[in-house]
Amino acid sequence: MTTSDTATERTLVIVKPDGVARNLVGEVLRRVEAKGYSIVALELRTADTDLLARHYAEHEDKPFFASLVEFMVSGPVVAAIVEGHGVIEGFRSLAGSTKPTSAAPGTIRGDLGREWGSAVVQNIVHGSDSPESAAREIGLWFPAL
C-alpha cells in the first residue's frame, strides 16, 4: 500500500465522560497528534439525551442502549473533528477494540479503559467507524462545520 491509497479525511472523536473525569483528555489528544493527525475542531460540552440517542441510533434496539446514553450524558465530553490520511480507520486502531479487557496493550482502550464498576463498558473514546458515520456524526456534533 502506498500513502496515496488513503485519502485525507475527517473523523469524529469523543473523549467520553470516563476519560474526561479521569483527566485523560490530554493523553488522548497527545496520541492523536503524535500519530500526525490534526485537530480541526474541539469542544468540551455536556451532551443531551436527544443528541446521544441520535449519535448511537444504530444501537437503539440493543439491551445496553439506555445505559449507554445515560453514561454518555453523565458528565462533560470532549468532541473533536480530527483530520488526516486514513484517519477513520487509523483512529479506530489507536482506540483499540471495544472491550478494554481484550483491547491490545498500546491502544487507548487497552492501556486506559475499564469495564468494571458500571452498567456499560467505559472505554474512554469514541471514533467514527466509516466515512458515512463520520459525515453523519460530524453533522450532529458540529452542525455549523
Contact between 17 and ligand RTP (CB under 6 A)?
A: no
Q: Does 52 contact ligand RTP by CB under 6 A? A: no
CB within 8 Å of 96: residues ≥ 6 apart: 103, 104, 106, 107, 108, 109, 110, 113
- How far apart (Å, rounded) are the C-alpha atoms in residues 67 and 64? 5
Grid cell digits, residue 24: 485523560
Q: How far apart are CA 65 and CA 93, in angstroms?
A: 24
Q: Could you tell me which stretch among 2-10, 18-26, 44-52, 117-125 binds ligand RTP (CB under 6 A)? A: 117-125
Pick from 98, 101, 118, 130: which binds ligand RTP (CB under 6 A)?
Answer: 98
Nearer to ligand RTP (CB atom), residue 87 or residue 120: 120
Binding flag, residue 96, ligand RTP (CB under 6 A):
no
What whole-number distance in Å separates Cα of residue 65 and Cα of residue 70?
9
Active site residue 126: yes
Q: If residue 122 lies in a helix (H) or strand (E), which one and from where to where?
A: none
Residues with catalytic roles: 126
List the binding residues for ATP: 16, 64, 92, 98, 109, 123
Q: Which residues contact ligand RTP (rule: CB under 6 A)?
A: 59, 64, 68, 98, 120-121, 123, 126-127, 129
